[in-house]
Amino acid sequence: MTLIRNTYQEIIHRLFRGDDRLLLIIAGSIAGVCSGIAAVVLRLSLEAVLEWLHHFRHFWWAFALPAVGAVASSFFLNKVVKEGAGHGVPEVIYAVSRYGGLLRFRSSFSRLISSFLTIGSGGSAGPEAPVVMSGSAIGSNIAKFFHLNDRQRITLVGCGTAGAIASIFNAPIAGLVFSIEVILGEWKFVNIIPIAIAAVAGAEVSHAIIPEQVIFNHQPFETGFNDIWGSICLALFAAMISVFFTRVLRQSGKLAKRIELPLWIKAAIGGCTVGLISMGMPVVLGEGYHYIQMMISEEFSLSIFLVLVAVLAKIVATSLTLGWGGSGGIFAPCLVIGSLTGVLFHKGLMALFPGAGCASEGAYALLGMTGLISGVMQAPLTGIFLIVEITGGYEAILPLILVSSIASTLSHYIEPASFYFKELIERGQFLRPGTDARILSDLNISELIETDMITVTDNRMFRDLIDILKTTEQDVFPVIGSQSGNYEGLIQISAIRKFALDPGMYDMIFVSQVMDSTLQTASLENDIQEIIDMMNTNRVDHIPVVENDRFIGMIKKTKILDLYRQELIMQTISH
């Protein structure tokens, strides 16, 4: 009996604990399925509510609909679930790099509901970032359920993200690539397989519930040699639009922060403005997939001037929706702006060179989408695979790669941080694995502090210190007040060497006379980065840690270096 039990335990250990690949694959596919369902639910309910609200669009008060949605969404996020507005992707990236992918359970549904309210009522935003947030929170909570460690939890967050993107676009490769390129930031063998499986699981769920294969159907594109020149120019144009879009989005958010009004009033102002814009330019409404389909199948008949206005209107509407309290992502707006950009470019090209043997307007709409996705997210692979998968347009792969790489490179050149990362970089929270900032943020003071230090009281004679010196290798001595017990200063051997060699001084001076009381001290709240900065500005190798005037311990530069190196090795090993 014991033999059977032991064998069973051994098998379980070998399969799941010793090597966690199987465990991650199983947990990852569960995460993929769950987040896939979440994504499908959001997509179907959005379709339903847009259909239902369509009947009210022609009333004069319809402009207020997005305002109602935005107010409800910001009320829900701030008061009910108490989470910040915005799209949530930077929060997921930060959670992955700082807290081992720890996300709250409520995040797995909060953004779904808020973005449903925002987008369903007509706000200009996309459902993808909310499902990313929700998928990653699902992955994180599945990891919690299985009692997994940080590294495994991060993989599951990636699985949830991949499943969500794969499901909402029915695009498994895009899900995989987005998850690794944007969310995790490192291509590791152990991550790729579970995430790939989760992506496929997500896509299968979506496929099972909504049978249609690709989101955007189109006629086969015929691309020729001339389109290479066309794509290069389009890529440059799309990069400009990307940078412009990113900047307008950020400025709008900053402006909203500066205005001191209750959140719901801001959301109402943003929503009403979007509603008013939509009166003249219905293309700005909602996630806009319907219009993308029209553009790809070349049923979109606006003049070149109106298309330009539409591009600007969509950019402004998205900035007002997301910056002023609405909830949703920039994926779908990027696709809409991208296809409008492509159409605009094609119309301009046709006007200038009527005889140019270029591909159709639909093909350029496709290329424009790639340009915008790659330019705004600075994730070229995501741009390529997403567009290929959602349109099934493999025949245009060469121009797609060209547009994607040029647009992402150029926008990276102008704006070094992508839309997702910029916020994190500004807050000092961009901590990719293996970087200095990441290693320093992972180290804690408690791991570095040396607490078993010999201290001396300030009323002792110098001779007493010399006697202590003879018995220890310690080279700095914290001085403690004899009355108060407080930290008073620090004695460094290098500073007292001169007096230590002169026995005539031993009975002449007190310990308190040779201590350095001007030295900056750290507290337990300081992070390692701040402590290293202190060491560099004061040019010292030791920093005493003092809390409520009490000496806690010392932090030494040599110790930081030791641990830093070990941490670097640990963070960069392949599992």
Partner 1 sequence: MELSVADMSNYLGVTPDTIKRWLKQGKLPVSKKGQTITFRRKDLENWARKNQIKLDFSKAAVKTEEANPRGENELVSLVQAVERAGVFPGIPGNDTSEVFESAIAGMGFVPETFKSDLLSRLLEREAALSTGIGNGIAIPHPRVQPEYIESPAVLIGYPREPLAYNALDGKAVSVLFFLLCPDLKNHLHLLSVISFCLRNDSFVSFLKSGPKTADLLEKVGLLEQTYSI
What is the contact surface with partner 1 in residues (CB under 8 A)? Answer: 416-417, 425, 428, 430, 435, 437, 459, 461, 498-499, 501-502, 504-505, 507-510, 513-514, 518, 536, 538-539
Burial grade of 330 (CB within 10 A; 0-12, 13-18, 19 or more): buried
Q: Which is nearer to partner 1, 146 or 506 (CB)?
A: 506
User: At its nearest, how many Å lie between partner 1 and the CB of residue 508?
Assistant: 6
Gyration radius (Cα) of the chain, Å: 30
Q: Which of 159, 161, 167 is nearest to 92 (CA)?
A: 161
Q: Which is nearer to partner 1, 86 or 489 (CB)?
A: 489
Q: What single string gives the DSSP state of each residue in 441-460? A: HH--HHHH-B-----EETTS
Strand partners, 476: 492
Q: Which is nearer to partner 1, 437 or 568 (CB)?
A: 437
Q: CA 385 → CA 135, 173, 199, 207, distances in Å?
A: 20, 6, 13, 18
User: At its nearest, how many Å lie between partner 1 and the CB of residue 20?
Assistant: 32
Q: CA 471 → CA 464, 474, 489, 498, 499, distances in Å?
A: 11, 9, 21, 19, 18
User: At its nearest, how many Å lie between partner 1 and the CB of residue 416?
Assistant: 4
d(CA 162, CA 158): 6
Residue with tokens 């690949």: 21
Residues in CB range of 397: below 8 A, 6 or more apart: 384, 388
Other Cβ atoms less than 10 A from the Cβ of 486: the count is: 14
User: At its nearest, how many Å lie between partner 1 and the CB of residue 378?
Assistant: 12
Q: Which is nearer to partner 1, 142 or 480 (CB)?
A: 480
Instruction: Take residue 431 and report the two structure tokens written for it.
Output: 């901590």
Three-state secondary structure readout of 209-242: HCCCCCCCCCCCCCCCCHHHHHHHHHHHHHHHHH
Q: Which is nearer to partner 1, 45 or 435 (CB)?
A: 435
Q: Which is nearer to partner 1, 416 or 434 (CB)?
A: 416
Q: Which of 43, 114, 32, 122 is nearest to 78 (CA)?
A: 114
Q: What single string gives the DSSP state of each residue in 295-363? A: HHTT-----HHHHHHHHHHHHHHHHHHHHTT---BSHHHHHHHHHHHHHHHHHHHHHH-TT-----HHH
User: At its nearest, how many Å lie between partner 1 and the CB of residue 520?
Assistant: 11
Q: Which is nearer to partner 1, 441 or 474 (CB)?
A: 441
Dihedral angle sign, alpha carbons of residues 157, 159, 164, 169: positive
d(CA 289, CA 336): 7
Q: CA 376 → CA 107, 208, 235, 240, 447, distances in Å?
A: 25, 32, 12, 10, 40
Residues in CB range of 339: below 8 A, 6 or more apart: 291, 292, 295, 296, 365, 366, 368, 369
Q: Which is nearer to partner 1, 245 or 430 (CB)?
A: 430
User: At its nearest, how many Å lie between partner 1 and the CB of residue 536?
Assistant: 8
d(CA 309, CA 295): 16
Q: Which is nearer to partner 1, 142 or 540 (CB)?
A: 540
Q: Which is nearer to partner 1, 508 or 524 (CB)?
A: 508
Buried b (16+ CB within 10 A) or exposed e, 124-133: bbbbbbbbbb
User: At its nearest, how many Å lie between partner 1 and the CB of residue 501?
Assistant: 6
User: At its nearest, how many Å lie between partner 1 and the CB of residue 255?
Assistant: 23
Q: Which is nearer to partner 1, 75 or 94 (CB)?
A: 94
User: At its nearest, how many Å lie between partner 1 and the CB of residue 546?
Assistant: 19
User: At its nearest, how many Å lie between partner 1 and the CB of residue 502?
Assistant: 5
d(CA 373, CA 407): 9
Q: Which is nearer to partner 1, 464 or 567 (CB)?
A: 464
User: At its nearest, how many Å lie between partner 1 and the CB of residue 45?
Assistant: 41
User: At its nearest, how many Å lie between partner 1 and the CB of residue 479?
Assistant: 14
